[in-house]
Amino acid sequence: MIEDKCLTQDLKKELKEKVESRNYKEALKYSKKMLEYIEKDDLTHEEAEWLGRDTVSNFRDYVNPGFVEYRKCVTEGGQFAAVEWKDSGLNTFKDASGKEYIDCLGGFGIFNVGHSNPKVKKAVKDQLKRQALHTQDLLDPLRGVLAKLLSDITPGKLQYSFIGNSGTEAVEAGLKLAKIYGQEKGKFTIIAAVGGFHGKSMGSLSATAKDIFRKPFMPLVSGYRHVPYGDADCLYKTVKSCEMVGEGVAAVILEPIQGEGGIIMPPAGYFKRVREICDEFGALLIADEVQTGMGRTGKMFCMEHYGVEPDIMCLAKALGGGIMPIGAVIAKKEIFSKFFPNPFIHTTTFGGNPLSCAAAIATINVLLEEKLPERAAEIGDYFLKNLKKVCYKYDNLVEEVRGIGLMLGIEFYSNEIGYEVSKELFAGGILVAGTLINAKTIRIEPPLTIEKGQCDTVVEVLDKALAEVSSKFK
């Protein structure tokens, strides 16, 4: 018995060493090969095939096989998975086989200044040449500059910024700010909206409002309530009820337009009422502009359309110029000052790093210099008008086309129709996507740099796609 056990352990040890040494060797070889690929601009047919095969098997075996299934919608004839490789111009990219696509998805709203915007890329490269990451101890100048710029371009009295690496982190920090601010007054309840999306970390997920993302992780953070989006009367009653039962409301967190919810626009006057309700009960208004911000809707921030100033605003996605990941929360001084006594009360190692800040500084510069928010308004009007013209020919398929600026959505009568249409569009060289919360809607969120001619191409291909799908769904 004892001998057996020893043997097993020896064997186990040997096996472990063998596995480890074999994997080191393999990892060395494999990483070297990939570094050589990274250097390449274009791939030969053989190289593209190898990359396609390995990408699929790597996703299947090491990332998550669910993605391979899901990405089927973007494979032609189900044979080759589409594997992306390079940007080609501001508004288009190429897959590994060299096929070009017009990007109407815009990375869910990250490519506002286009793909590989030269000014943003240069800023990051220049920063990289000099210093990649900050020491963490001295004061890093770019973070300060970015925080000032954010204060300059955001509406109202928003002044102090905490910089993180994603939208989720921006929301998380916003919620924590609201809680620390409300704490003394016994206000801790957070009210969010049904159909809202704010991220998937435990705190932000508690605000996110989609059953499939939340149910497996119950119980979430306590003290959250959800109300229907766009219903100010219901919000009023909910805030009032919370106050009456001693569960004071620290903040109401809302998207100015629900992005993942399926490009849902609030009714006119909604945010004005929300502001009044917040003021009446001393609750903070958090505007989650992670997707709507940085010019997407035709103004720098969507809240400007409503003439309403939030107390806290969350930014990310396009803030990094489609080059670097970055997120930021900006708040009024009175609120943010709760973080002053101990600046380490909320931190993250990589947040505000100089590479990301360089990208964000360049992004703000490009947005302002090239007047991209105005451009989004103008070209968005043109695009929406033409999308409507084509879509409403197929009223058996399309329920509604809506949006503002370049945050547009086409809602179909069913998920299946939306899926089929995106597949046809993809085959025609146009990337669109569904939304996380409402699969019936496909969104059109191209770079704000998209050309009129490219919009025309999209409309033409869409016309053909709808005709094709219409014949299937008679």
- Backbone φ and ψ of 461, nearest 5°: -65, -35
- Smallest CA-to-CA distance from 286 within 275, 297, 301 is with 275
Minimum CB separation of residue 204 from ligand PLP in Å reads 7
Query: Measured from the CB atom, is 198 or 305 closer to ligand PLP?
Result: 198
Contacting residue, 143, 198, 210, 423, with ligand PLP by CB under 6 A: 198
Query: Measured from the CB atom, is 314 or 361 closer to ligand PLP?
Result: 314
Q: Does 288 sit near ligand PLP (CB under 6 A)?
A: yes
Asked if residues 159 and 330 have their Cβ atoms less than 8 Å apart, the reply is: yes
Read off the tokens for 116: 């590989």
- Looking from the CA of 278 toward its CB, the CA atoms found within 13 Å total 26
Quick one: which segment of 124-132, 160-168, 187-195, 360-368 binds ligand PLP (CB under 6 A)? 160-168
Minimum CB separation of residue 175 from ligand PLP in Å reads 12
Question: Which run of H or of E encompasses 409?
Answer: strand 407-412
Read off the tokens for 123: 């800023």
Contacting residue, 291, 435, 441, 454, with ligand PLP by CB under 6 A: 291
Minimum CB separation of residue 352 from ligand PLP in Å reads 15
Query: Measured from the CB atom, is 238 or 291 closer to ligand PLP?
Result: 291
Those residues whose C-beta lies under 8 Å from the C-beta of residue 457, and which sit 6 or more positions away, are 102, 430
Write the interaction track for ligand PLP spanning residues 118-157; mark x where CB under 6 A is met and - where it is not. Answer: ----------------------------------------
- Backbone φ and ψ of 254, nearest 5°: -145, 150
Read off the tokens for 189: 């309840």
Where b means 16+ CB within 10 Å and e means fewer, 324-335 reads bbbbbbbbbeeb
Minimum CB separation of residue 154 from ligand PLP in Å reads 16
Quick one: which segment of 118-126, 254-262, 405-413, 459-467 binds ligand PLP (CB under 6 A)? 254-262
Minimum CB separation of residue 6 from ligand PLP in Å reads 50
Asked if residues 369 and 119 have their Cβ atoms less than 8 Å apart, the reply is: no
Minimum CB separation of residue 288 from ligand PLP in Å reads 4
Those residues whose C-beta lies under 8 Å from the C-beta of residue 418, and which sit 6 or more positions away, are 410, 412, 434, 439, 440, 441, 442
Residues 326 to 345: which contact ligand PLP by CB under 6 A?
Answer: 327
Nearest residue to ligand PLP, scored by beta-carbon proximity? 167
Asked if residues 367 and 295 have their Cβ atoms less than 8 Å apart, the reply is: yes
CA distances from 252 to 143, 191, 276, 291, 467 (A): 28, 5, 12, 18, 43
Read off the tokens for 409: 């959505």
Contacting residue, 43, 68, 81, 171, with ligand PLP by CB under 6 A: 171
Minimum CB separation of residue 225 from ligand PLP in Å reads 18
Quick one: which segment of 79-87, 120-128, 165-173, 404-412 binds ligand PLP (CB under 6 A)? 165-173
User: With CB under 6 A, what is the number of residues at the site for ligand PLP?
Assistant: 16
Minimum CB separation of residue 158 from ligand PLP in Å reads 17
Read off the tokens for 348: 């993250």
Q: Does 168 sit near ligand PLP (CB under 6 A)?
A: yes
CA-CA-CA-CA torsion sign (62, 66, 72, 74): negative
Residues 258 to 277: which contact ligand PLP by CB under 6 A?
Answer: 259-260
Q: What is the C-alpha to C-alpha distance for residues 244 and 270, in angstroms, rounded to an integer? A: 24
Residue type, 310: P
Minimum CB separation of residue 192 from ligand PLP in Å reads 11
Asked if residues 294 and 317 have their Cβ atoms less than 8 Å apart, the reply is: yes
Query: Measured from the CB atom, is 248 or 298 closer to ligand PLP?
Result: 298
The DSSP bridge partners found for residue 434 are: 442
Read off the tokens for 147: 């925080």
Minimum CB separation of residue 240 from ligand PLP in Å reads 27
Minimum CB separation of residue 51 from ligand PLP in Å reads 26
Q: Does 166 sit near ligand PLP (CB under 6 A)?
A: yes
Contacting residue, 59, 93, 162, 197, with ligand PLP by CB under 6 A: 197
Q: Does 167 sit near ligand PLP (CB under 6 A)?
A: yes
Quick one: which segment of 21-29, 117-125, 193-201, 452-460 binds ligand PLP (CB under 6 A)? 193-201
DSSP state of 265: P
Where b means 16+ CB within 10 Å and e means fewer, 173-184 reads bbbbbbbbbbee
3-state secondary structure of 187: strand
Residues 307 to 326: which contact ligand PLP by CB under 6 A?
Answer: 316-317
Query: Measured from the CB atom, is 102 or 171 closer to ligand PLP?
Result: 171
- Beta strands in 235-289, from DSSP E residues, in sequence order: 248-254, 284-288
Contacting residue, 199, 262, 321, 447, with ligand PLP by CB under 6 A: 199
Minimum CB separation of residue 9 from ligand PLP in Å reads 45
- Looking from the CA of 376 toward its CB, the CA atoms found within 13 Å total 32
Q: Does 290 sit near ligand PLP (CB under 6 A)?
A: yes
Binding site for ligand PLP (CB under 6 A): 166-168, 171, 197-199, 255, 259-260, 288, 290-291, 316-317, 327
